[in-house]
Amino acid sequence: MNEVRSFQLEDRGVLELSGSEARSFLQGLITQNIDTLTPDGPLYSALLTPQGKFLFDFFVWDGGDVIYLDVAKDQLMNFARRLLFYKLRADVNVGDASKTFHVWASTGTPDGFAADPRLAALGGRALVRADEPIDVENAGGSAAWRRHRLGLSVVSGTELTPEKSFPIEANFDFLGAIDFQKGCFVGQEVASRTKRRGTVRKRIVRLVGLPETPIEKDTAVVANERTVGHIVAHEGTSGMALMKLDALGSELTVDGHKVSADPAAWLTAAL
């Protein structure tokens, strides 16, 4: 049995939403159903453009009278500004709680951790007050957690380019980020139509056989001298690429190196 490892995610920040209309405000914006949020654990969600393209992904935590949003730290202020853009006259306050809380992830679910809502194999997640002790050791921080996550073929918004990708192409539908039954959210019409019609032509899948030397994001994946995908993340000799699905069985190269597609078991049903 593999040892459970835990990681303090120094690249994550936390926003706090308060006010009498905080929940209804989020419900009309984000891809998840806030009515299903409980103190037992977070929801995974996204905010899209009106055209249905990805802007931000984040975890939603029930804080009782407030809601906490666990988001990439380098996107925190942009995310806060976007929320304030939609706020209008709603009774909602948006504040930075990153100094109050630390975000942790784990390959298991130690005491104080909730199951990661994306994929059981990922493990768990926790919001921990900065002034309270936690009974786990940091096993490598964000970089080590990223290796674990990518090893399970799970990408996050840190690998995506805002306003370029559709959330279903990033497999957000399989990772529980989108509630297609909840009703309206920003970009809902495009996302729902794509899912309903089954017209997904590209998805992010795992590639194996990459060189260990660094590969830049957006490097082309080529088949028969035709670009059929682009690298979104690289770790060791494997990586993740946004690929045309009809090219997965082709002979693929990246920077002249032969590679092959190795979709995760949890994704193969869609391919």
For residue 233, give the CATH number of its domain.
Answer: 2.40.30.110
Q: Report the mean per-residue pLDDT for the chain.
A: 95
* pLDDT at site 171: 96
Residue 152's domain spans which residues? Answer: 6-159
Q: Is the domain of 117 the same as that of 240? A: no
Residue ending a domain, among 126, 141, 159, is 159
Q: Is the domain of 22 the same as that of 112? A: yes
Domain with residue 17: its CATH number is: 3.30.70.1400
Q: Is the domain of 149 the same as that of 30? A: yes
Q: Is residue 183 part of a domain?
A: no
Q: Is residue 17 pLDDT above 60, yes or no?
A: yes
* pLDDT at site 54: 97
Q: Is the domain of 33 the same as that of 143? A: yes
Structure-token pair, residue 218: 């957006």
* pLDDT at site 200: 86
How far apart (Å, rounded) are the C-alpha atoms in residues 143 and 132?
Answer: 24
Q: Is residue 32 pLDDT above 90, yes or no?
A: yes
Residue ending a domain, among 159, 187, 214, is 159
Q: Is residue 160 pLDDT above 60, yes or no?
A: yes
Q: Is residue 65 part of a domain?
A: yes
Q: Is residue 66 part of a domain?
A: yes
DSSP string, the chain: -PPP-EEE-TTEEEEEEESTTHHHHHHTTSSS-GGG-BTTBPEEEEEE-TTS-EEEEEEEEE-SSSEEEEEEGGGHHHHHHHHHHHHTTSS-EEEE-TTTEEEEEESS--TT-EE-SS-GGG-EEEEEETTS--SS-BSSHHHHHHHHHHHTT---GGGSPTTTS-TTTTTTTTTT---TTS---TTHHHHHHHHHHT---EEEEEEE---SS---TTPEEEETTEEEEEEEEEETTEEEEEEEGGGTTS-EEETTEEEEE---TTTGGG-
Q: Is residue 155 pLDDT above 90, yes or no?
A: yes
Structure-token pair, residue 20: 């009498």
Q: Is the domain of 225 the same as that of 125? A: no
Q: What is the pLDDT of residues 168-199, one digit of tens each?
A: 999 999 999 999 998 899 999 998 888 777 77
Backbone region of residue 198 per phi and psi (left: phi > 0; alpha: psi in -120 to 50; beta: other values):
left
Q: Supply angle C-alpha 114, 120, 122, rounded to 5.
A: 80
Residues of the chain above pLDDT 70, percent: 99
Q: What is the pLDDT of residues 121-144, one digit of tens each?
A: 999 999 999 999 899 999 999 999
Give the mean model confidence (pLDDT) for residues 257-265.
95
Residues of the chain above pLDDT 90, percent: 91
Closest of 11, 30, 2 to residue 146, by C-alpha: 11
Q: Is the domain of 219 the same as that of 92? A: no
* pLDDT at site 40: 96
Residue ending a domain, among 137, 159, 181, is 159
Q: Is residue 271 pLDDT above 80, yes or no?
A: no
Q: Is the domain of 21 the same as that of 155? A: yes
Q: Is the domain of 61 the same as that of 145? A: yes
Q: Is residue 194 part of a domain?
A: no
Q: Is residue 131 part of a domain?
A: yes
Q: What is the pLDDT of residues 216-250, one digit of tens each?
A: 999 999 999 999 999 999 999 999 999 999 999 99
pTM for the structure as a whole:
0.95
Q: What is the pLDDT of residues 54-90, one digit of tens each?
A: 999 999 999 999 999 999 999 999 999 999 999 999 9
Q: Is the domain of 208 the same as that of 105? A: no
